[in-house]
């Protein structure tokens, strides 16, 4: 039996191609692992009414880690229209499989390293090396949403919340409500994870991202909890910033930052901005990490317009594999893989279209594998 069991979830569109590329480098590294394919994505929504079938949930209960490509998601009406005729009209609701996976397996840390590799023509500034910790299970992604808004809820809000006044007169289908739910426990454990990482990796500062001056209840709780956690790490500096100002400061003075920690939605936005500073979606990688399971993925989606063309940049996925190797404790292989990626970027003769070249997904993977 192999040392590791790894769920292999290509999903849709370019997800399939970038995972094929990731397999090229993993084979070259000779990781002692069984790769267990899992069904996930749009096809399974259309034919079974579930983009994340129960058998894939079961598979994830039996593995050490997973690599996930990308899935296609569509708004509710389009999703209903795409169902096979026998599933239409049954009230099936499409929910993003990756959001569900994060909640089902309590993958509460979303870790997104942001590194400018020397020689990458897409670097906004050379030398950038940030890490984003995004809370991954609650906040506006809690999945508590109403459209149309039930009268019962409107009546209760009318009684409890002064600010609800202007909305109370609207009919149920004239507005919608998405609940932002943040817990003390959820806030504490993501901030703790950020500080622990900072301590372990010799990072100097953690910046807490929020909007507590306006979103007082939830972001206030996040910020206050973060301040309490920070007291346990006197060796690491801490500061905080409103998310809107943060996006501006990140572009103006990116070297003022080191480790960032944020609730779910702000973390998603800030990490995309950061990814763009080091090459964009072809370079953005992500680990969804819980206490028992971790799922590694590129941050990009299925890019339907490029699907089947083998032109997507696989570096994001290969760096996600590097994160997985670290998580499994295979630090030697992780380091070797990162060095190989860095060497190919620096050399510059193999570049995918986003880097200004014409190499294919598998040529990039081959070039990285050849350096191993």
Catalytic residue among 32, 244, 291, 347: 244
Beta strands in 79-128 (DSSP E): 109-115
- Smallest separation, CB 314 to ligand NAD (Å): 7
Task: Kindly tell me which of 46 and 157 has the beta carbon lying closer to ligand NAD.
Answer: 46
Least distance from ligand NAD to the Cβ atom of residue 208, Å? 25
Q: Is 331 exposed, middle or buried (0-12, 13-18, 19+ CB in 10 A)?
A: exposed
Show the tokens assigned to 116.
């400018």
Q: Which is nearer to ligand NAD, 251 or 309 (CB)?
A: 309
Shortest distance (Å) from residue 40 CB to ligand NAD: 9
Catalytic residue among 115, 211, 311, 333: 211
Closest CB to ligand NAD among residues 70, 208: 70
In the bound state with ligand NAD, the residue whose beta carbon lies nearer, of 59 and 355, is 355
Rg of the chain (C-alpha set): 21
What are the structure tokens assigned to 68, written together? 């996930």
Nearer to ligand NAD, 134 or 192 (CB): 134
d(Cα 359, Cα 372) in Å, to the nearest integer? 19
211 is catalytic: yes
User: Under 8 Å CB-to-CB from 276, ≥6 apart: which residues?
Assistant: 124
- The residue of the chain with the least Cβ separation from ligand NAD equals 301
CB of 324 to ligand NAD, least distance (A): 16
Which residue is catalytic, options 94, 141, 257, 266? 141
End-to-end, the C-alpha distance of the chain in Å comes to 25
Minimum Å distance from CB 180 to ligand NAD?
A: 21
Of residues 12, 64, 139, 268, which has the active-site annotation?
Answer: 268
Any catalytic annotation for residue 272? yes
Task: State the CB neighbour count (10 A cutoff) for residue 142.
Answer: 18
Per CB under 6 A, residues contacting ligand NAD are 14, 18, 70-73, 98, 281-282, 300-306, 312-313, 316, 354
Q: Which ranges constitute the DSSP H helices of the chain?
A: 14-29, 42-48, 54-61, 76-82, 97-104, 151-160, 165-168, 184-200, 216-230, 243-252, 264-277, 315-328, 331-347, 361-370
Catalytic residues: 141, 211, 244, 268, 272
């Amino acid at each position: 039996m192999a040392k590791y069991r790894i769920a292999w979830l290509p999903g849709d569109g370019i997800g399939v191609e970038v995972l094929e590329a990731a397999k090229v480098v993993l084979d070259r590294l000779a990781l002692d692992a069984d790769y267990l394919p899992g069904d996930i994505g749009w096809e399974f929504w259309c034919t079974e009414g579930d983009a994340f079938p129960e058998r894939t949930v079961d598979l994830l209960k039996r593995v050490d880690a997973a690599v996930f490509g990308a899935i296609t998601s569509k708004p509710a009406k389009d999703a209903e229209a795409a169902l096979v005729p026998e599933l239409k009209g049954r009230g099936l609701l499409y929910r993003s499989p990756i959001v569900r996976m994060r909640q089902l397996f309590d993958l509460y840390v979303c870790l997104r390293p942001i590194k400018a590799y020397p020689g990458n023509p897409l670097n906004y500034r050379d030398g950038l090396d940030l890490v984003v910790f995004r809370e991954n299970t609650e906040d506006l992604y809690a999945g508590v949403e109403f459209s149309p808004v039930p009268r019962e809820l409107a009546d209760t809000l009318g009684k409890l919340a002064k600010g609800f006044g202007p909305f109370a007169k609207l009919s149920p289908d004239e507005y919608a409500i998405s609940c932002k739910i943040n817990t003390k426990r959820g806030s504490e454990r993501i901030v703790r994870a950020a500080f622990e990482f900072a301590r372990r990796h010799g990072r100097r500062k953690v910046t807490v991202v929020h909007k507590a001056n306006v979103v007082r209840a939830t972001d206030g709780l996040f910020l206050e909890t973060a301040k309490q956690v920070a007291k346990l790490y006197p060796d690491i500096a801490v500061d905080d910033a409103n998310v809107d100002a943060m996006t501006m400061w990140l572009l103006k003075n990116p070297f003022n930052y080191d480790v960032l920690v944020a609730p779910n939605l702000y973390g998603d936005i800030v990490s995309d901005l950061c990814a763009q500073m080091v090459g964009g979606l072809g370079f953005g990688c992500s680990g969804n990490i819980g206490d028992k399971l971790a799922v590694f993925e590129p941050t990009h989606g299925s890019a339907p317009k490029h699907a089947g063309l083998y032109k997507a940049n696989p570096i994001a996925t290969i760096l996600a594999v590097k994160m997985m190797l670290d998580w499994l404790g295979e630090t030697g292989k992780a380091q070797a893989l990162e060095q190989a990626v860095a060497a190919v970027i620096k050399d510059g003769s193999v570049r995918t279209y986003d880097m200004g070249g014409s190499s294919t997904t598998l040529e990039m993977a081959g070039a990285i594998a050849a350096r191993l």
